[in-house]
Amino acid sequence: MNRRAYLASLVGCCSGLAGCSGLAGDATVTETAAPVPRTATAAPVPGPTTPSELPVPESELVRAAPRDGIPAITEPAFGETWSGITVAAESLSRGEFTVDLELRPQDVVIGVALEGEARAYPLKLLSWHEVVNDTAEGRPLLVTYCPLCGSSIVTRRTVGGEPARFGVSGLLLDQNLVLYDGVTGSLWSQLAATAIRGPRTGDRLELLPSAVTRLDTWREQHPGARVLLPPPRSGSVDDRTFNYNRDRYGAYYASERVGAPGAGRSAADARIHPKTSVIGIRSGGTARAYPFPIVRERGVINDTVGRTPVVVAAGPGRSVSTLSGSMVAYDRRVDGRTLRFERGETGDLHAGGSRWAITTGLALDGPHRGARLASAGPPPQFWFAWRERHPGAELYGHG
C-alpha cells in the first residue's frame, strides 16, 4: 500500500462515526424526545494496515504560509448574534477600515451539538482562522475547516489523553490543511485526523458528529444554539481582526483554480467542476463519490458501495459547493435489516415505518425510534480533494 492509499484508508476510518456528516442545506426537521440512541448496524471500515507508510516525507509537504500565519482561535466566545460588533480590517484596495459585522440567517455554519449544548461556527469566520480550540461541558473540542478542500472536521482536542492546543502549521498535504499541536509539535492531517509527522505520528483524533448547514436551519433544530463570535470577542494566537462579513475564499470557490499554487498534483477532470462538493464512500475495495448536483436532483439515493448498503441525501441549494447545500451519507442497515429510504415532505427521511432526521441519522418515531444510522463516509469535500486521495474512484452518475 503506498503512502497516499494509506492516508486514504485513514480518512475512510471517519466512516464509522454516527452523524458525522454535512446537512442537507434547507431541510427542516423537528426532533422529538427519544430514548438514548442505539447505533444501527455499521459495516467494518478500512483501517490503517501499514504504519510504516508514516511519517509522511517532508518533501510531500508544501509551505503555503508561515506557522500561525493563519491565526487559530484559542479562546472562543459565543453569543446570539454579531450585532453591535465592529472590527478593524485592512485590504490592498481600501487600506485600513472598520466593519460593522452582520450574521445572516442564510450564512453557512458547522453545527455541533454535544453534551446537551448546541453551537454554530460560521464558515465565513472560519475561512480566516481555520481552527477553533474549544471546550464543551469541560471536554476539549477541536473544530477545523479547510477552505481549499471545502472540508470540515470536528474532533476531541487531546494528544496522548491530555488537552492540547492546535494551530495552523502553514503547510499543506495534497492541498489539505496540516495542523500542529502545541504539546509535542507533531503535524496532523485534517482530513485523516491523524498525526503524520512528529512524536505522535500515527495517532488519531477522536471524531465527533457535526453538520454543515444554514444558521437558520440549525437554530430551527436547536433553538438554544449559540454562535461563535469573531475576534476580538474570541481570542486568537494574535490580535488581528478581519472583514468577517465576507468569506476570504469567495472568489476561489467560484473559480476553476484548485488549491494553492504548487501545493498538489490534481489533474483536470472534464466531467464536473473540480470544486463540486462530493461525499466519498469507501468499502470492500470500492471508492465512490456522489456529486452534490446529482444527489440534489434525485433527492435520495439508495446504493451499495462494496459491501455496504448506503443512503445519500441532499437538501435544496443552487450552488455546486457546500456553501449553499450539502449532503449526508449513512449505512442503511438497522437491526440486521437493510432499509430503503425516501424523502419526506418536511425534508426528513422515511424508512421502515420511521422518520429519520437528516442532520443526525436519528429515528424520530415509529418502530426504530431512538436508533441512529452510522455514517457511511467522511463529511463533504471538494471533488478534487477526494480524487487526490482516491485516483481510481468512481464518480456516481458519470459512468
Say which DSSP state 356 is in.
E
Q: What is the rounded distance in angstroms from the CA atom of residue 178 to the CA atom of residue 99? A: 30
Q: Would 277 be classed as within a structural domain?
A: no
pLDDT category at 33 given cuts 50, 70, 90 is: very low
Q: What is the rounded distance in angstroms from the CA atom of residue 150 to the CA atom of residue 321? A: 8
CB 352 within 8 A of CB 339: yes
Q: What is the rounded distance in angstroms from the CA atom of residue 361 to the CA atom of residue 16? A: 13
**Count of domains in the chain?**
1
Look up cell 440567517; give the residue: 105
Instruction: Choose among 192, 220, 215, 214: nearest CA to 204.
Output: 192
Starting from the edge strand earliest in sequence, which strands make up the sheet with 166-173, in order? 61-63, 166-173, 176-181, 187-189, 194-197
Mean pLDDT, rounded, for 103-124: 92
Cis before residue 55, ω within 30 degrees of 0? yes
Instruction: Choose among 58, 275, 261: nearest CA to 178.
Output: 58
Mean pLDDT, rounded, for 264-276: 76
Residue type, 201: T
- Report the pLDDT value the prediction gives residue 315, as an integer from 0 to 100: 58
- Report the pLDDT value the prediction gives residue 7, as an integer from 0 to 100: 59
Range of the domain at 243: 53-251
Q: Would 37 be classed as within a structural domain?
A: no
Mean pLDDT, rounded, for 257-286: 81
- Report the pLDDT value the prediction gives residue 26, as an integer from 0 to 100: 32
Res. 294: pLDDT tops 70: yes
pTM: 0.84
Q: What is the rounded distance in angstroms from the CA atom of residue 33 to the CA atom of residue 37? A: 11
353 versus 358: which is more confidently predicted?
353
Res. 378: pLDDT tops 90: no
Q: Would 265 be classed as within a structural domain?
A: no
Res. 12: pLDDT tops 80: no
Q: What is the rounded distance in angstroms from the CA atom of residue 290 to the CA atom of residue 304? A: 12
Does residue 220 come out as left (phi exceeding 0), alpha (psi in the -120 to 50 range) or beta?
alpha
Say which DSSP state 25 is in.
T
CB 228 within 8 A of CB 80: no
pLDDT category at 327 given cuts 50, 70, 90 is: confident
pLDDT category at 238 given cuts 50, 70, 90 is: very high
Q: Would 97 be classed as within a structural domain?
A: yes
Q: Determine the 3-state secondary structure of 325 from DSSP.
A: coil
Mean pLDDT, rounded, for 94-110: 95
Q: Would 211 be classed as within a structural domain?
A: yes
Instruction: Choose among 294, 295, 285: nearest CA to 328.
Output: 295
Question: Cell numbers at residue 31, please?
Answer: 426532533
Res. 6: pLDDT tops 60: no
Share of the chain above pLDDT 70, in %: 82
125 versus 21: which is more confidently predicted?
125
Q: Would 349 be classed as within a structural domain?
A: no
pLDDT category at 35 given cuts 50, 70, 90 is: very low
Mean pLDDT, rounded, for 270-297: 92
Q: Would 271 be classed as within a structural domain?
A: no
Q: Would 260 be classed as within a structural domain?
A: no
Instruction: Choose among 393, 377, 391: nearest CA to 46.
Output: 377
